[in-house]
Amino acid sequence: MNRTVLTIGLVIAGALCAVFYLALGKDPSAIDSPLIGKAAPDFALKAVGTGETIDLAKYRGKPVVVNFWATWCHPCWDEHPTLTAVSQTYGDNVQFLGVVFQDDETKITNFLRERGWTYPTLVDQRGKTAIAYGVGGVPETFFLNRQGKIVAKYVGPITPDELRTDVAKAMAE
């Protein structure tokens, strides 16, 4: 009897240890996106500065990088130079789009004026686009292939290497 109880206890403890071990080093706020491999939700949003409406659909046939960010998000400040610099290296071959949510347009304009920009920044009113993309926090970056399918998602401030790796995925498909 005691041996049975001990075995059951060990099995339960072992299973718990395995679960905790697998979760080690994983960011609990990073949610696996069920959108990977699916068509990216379409949007047409107003660009900051120009007021022009940018429609995602018009970039079909070209890989697109959609970066969700906000001026109140400090990690977004860190990744801003990476995105602007790397986007320039791809020129017209890859379209970069910034989508700002839960923010004030004046603050966005001031931020971009101070730090510069190389691609359109769009305003997501009431966060509807962010919700459709399953954004849980900023920054989050989505990589769309030529067919408009999401091939990768990156949570947190992205580094140049990580950015190039995911862009390569979007370009390959």
Partner 1 sequence: MRKLALIAVLLLLAVKVPDADTLVGPPKGQPLAGDELTRTTQEVASTIRCPVCQGLSIADSPAEMAQNMRAQVRELLSRGYTRDQISSYFERSYGQFVLLKPKFQGVSSLVWTLPIFALILGVVIVFMKMKSLEQPPSGNQQPATGNSETDPYLARVRELVEGEQK
Binding residue for partner 1 (CB under 8 A) from 31, 109, 156, 171? 31
* By CB under 8 A, residue 161 contacts partner 1: no
* By CB under 8 A, residue 89 contacts partner 1: no
Residue 161 Cβ vs partner 1, minimum distance, rounded to whole Å: 27
Size of the site for partner 1 (CB under 8 A): 34
Question: Is-cis flag, bond preceding 120, omega within 30?
Answer: no
* By CB under 8 A, residue 47 contacts partner 1: no
* By CB under 8 A, residue 45 contacts partner 1: yes
Task: Provide the 10 A C-beta neighbour count for residue 101.
Answer: 20
Structure tokens at 4: 């049975």
Contact partners, residue 137, CB within 8 Å, separation at least 6:
29, 155
> What is the spatial distance between Cα 83 and Cα 81, in angstroms, rounded to a whole number?
6
Binding residue for partner 1 (CB under 8 A) from 25, 34, 61, 91? 34
* By CB under 8 A, residue 43 contacts partner 1: yes
Q: Which is nearer to partner 1, 39 or 168 (CB)?
A: 39
Q: How does strand 64-69 pair with strand 140-144? A: antiparallel
Residue 53 Cβ vs partner 1, minimum distance, rounded to whole Å: 4
Residue 63 Cβ vs partner 1, minimum distance, rounded to whole Å: 20
| Beta strand extents in 36-166 (DSSP E only) | 44-46, 53-55, 64-69, 95-101, 121-124, 140-144, 150-155
Residues paired with residue 47 on neighbouring β-strands, in sequence order: 122
Binding residues for partner 1 (CB under 8 A): 1, 4-5, 8, 29, 31-35, 41-46, 51, 53, 55, 102, 124-137
